[in-house]
Amino acid sequence: MDISVFQITWFVLWSVLWAVYFMLDGFVLGTGFLSSFIAKDDTEKRILINAVGPVWDGNEVWLLTAGGATFAAFPTTYALMFSNLYSALILLLFSLIVRGVSFEFRGKLPGDSWKGLWDKAIVVCSFLPALLFGVAFGNIFRGIPMRNDFATLQFSYEGSLLGLLNPYGLVTGVLFVLLFAVHGALYISLKTTGDLSARAAAMANKLWPALLFIAVVFLGYTWPATRLYDNFLKVPLLLVIPVVAVASLLLVKLFAGKQETGKAFIFSCLTIVFVVFTGVTGLFPNLLPSNLDPASNLTIFNSSSSLLTLKIMTVVALIFVPIVICYKIWVYRIFRAPLRREDVLQDPHAY
DSSP string across 35-61? HHHH--SHHHHHHHHHHHTTTHHHHHH
H helices of the chain, in order, are 3-38, 42-52, 56-73, 75-84, 86-105, 112-142, 167-191, 194-225, 230-234, 240-257, 261-283, 307-334, 341-346
pLDDT at 1 (0 to 100):
66
Domain residues for the domain of 38 are 3-346
247 Cβ contact partners less than 8 Å away, ≥ 6 residues apart: none
Neighbours of 140 (CB within 10 A): 21
Output DSSP code: residue 144: B
Q: Is residue 91 part of a domain?
A: yes
User: What is the per-residue pLDDT for 225?
Assistant: 94
Helix 240-257 and helix 194-225, axial crossing angle in degrees, nearest 10? 150
Burial degree of 265 (CB within 10 A; 0-12, 13-18, 19+): buried
Q: Report which DSSP code applies to 296.
A: G
For 197, residues 6+ apart whose C-beta sits below 8 A from its C-beta are 188, 189, 190, 338
Say how many C-beta atoms besides its own lie within 10 A of residue 8's C-beta: 16
Question: What is the three-class DSSP state of 293?
Answer: coil
Q: Are strands 154-157 and 146-149 parallel, antiparallel or unpaired?
A: antiparallel
Q: Do 241 and 271 form a contact (C-beta atoms < 8 A)?
A: no
Kindly state whether residue 291 falls inside one of the protein's structural domains: yes
Which DSSP symbol is given to 292? Answer: S
Whether omega for the bond prior to residue 129 falls within 30 degrees of 0, making it cis, is no
Q: What's the rounded Cα separation, in Å, for the pair 349 and 351?
A: 7
Structural domain contains residue 351 = no
Structurally, the chain folds into a number of domains equal to: 1
> Is-contact 91 131, C-beta < 8 A?
no
144 DSSP β-pair partners = 290
Is the CB of residue 305 less than 8 Å from the CB of residue 75? yes
Calculate the CA 32 to chain-centre distance: 14
* pLDDT value of residue 86: 85
User: What's the CA gap between 129 and 125, in Å, rounded?
Assistant: 7
Task: Please say whether the beta carbons of 157 and 82 come within 8 A.
Answer: no
152 class by beta-carbon count within 10 Å (0-12 exposed, 13-18 middle, 19+ buried): exposed
Q: For the chain, which ranges sit under pLDDT 50?
A: none
